[in-house]
Amino acid sequence: MERKENSDQSRKIGRQIAIVTGSAAGIGRASCLPFAKRGASVAAVDCDADGNAKPVEEIRCLGGIAEALTALYLVSGDASLVTGSAVQIDGGMSL
């Protein structure tokens, strides 16, 4: 029997922006590259600026669009900053 690809993983996202919190490590970091591979621009958000630079560099090396945003997303001022900055990446926030 032929195995079909998981449609969720193979579907292109295209010109949308994914805001990924906790992107310096763990699940957050692991989520960045799949979004980029499916065509999304990635706003990588973490309070660890050094760790957060790594997934952004990986995405850019593959030709993707990504920005590292240093913030603590639980702080309302930071959340507003992240949203405003994410919109600037590729024209609008979608995910």
Confidence at 89, pLDDT banded by 50, 70, 90: confident
What digits encode the pLDDT tens for the residues 47-85? Answer: 999 999 999 999 999 999 999 999 886 777 777 777 778
Distance of CA 15 to the CA centre of its chain: 13
Please answer whether residues 42 and 36 qualify as being in contact, where contact means their C-beta atoms are separated by less than 8 angstroms: yes
Q: Of 18 and 78, which is predicted with more confidence?
A: 18
In whole angstroms, what is the distance from residue 32 CA to residue 67 CA? 11
The pLDDT assigned to 91 comes to 57
The pLDDT assigned to 28 comes to 95
Q: Is the pLDDT of residue 21 over 60?
A: yes
Q: Of 44 and 86, which is predicted with more confidence?
A: 44
In whole angstroms, what is the distance from residue 39 CA to residue 73 CA? 24
- Mean pLDDT score across all residues of the chain: 82
Q: Can you read off the two tokens belonging to residue 72?
A: 């603590």
DSSP string, 5-62: PPHHHHS---S-EEEEETTTSHHHHHHHHHHHHTT-EEEEEES-HHHHHHHHHHHHHT
The pLDDT assigned to 95 comes to 52
List, in order of start, the domains of the chain with CATH numbers: 14-90 (3.40.50.720)
Q: Which residues are bridge partners to 44 per DSSP?
A: 20, 68
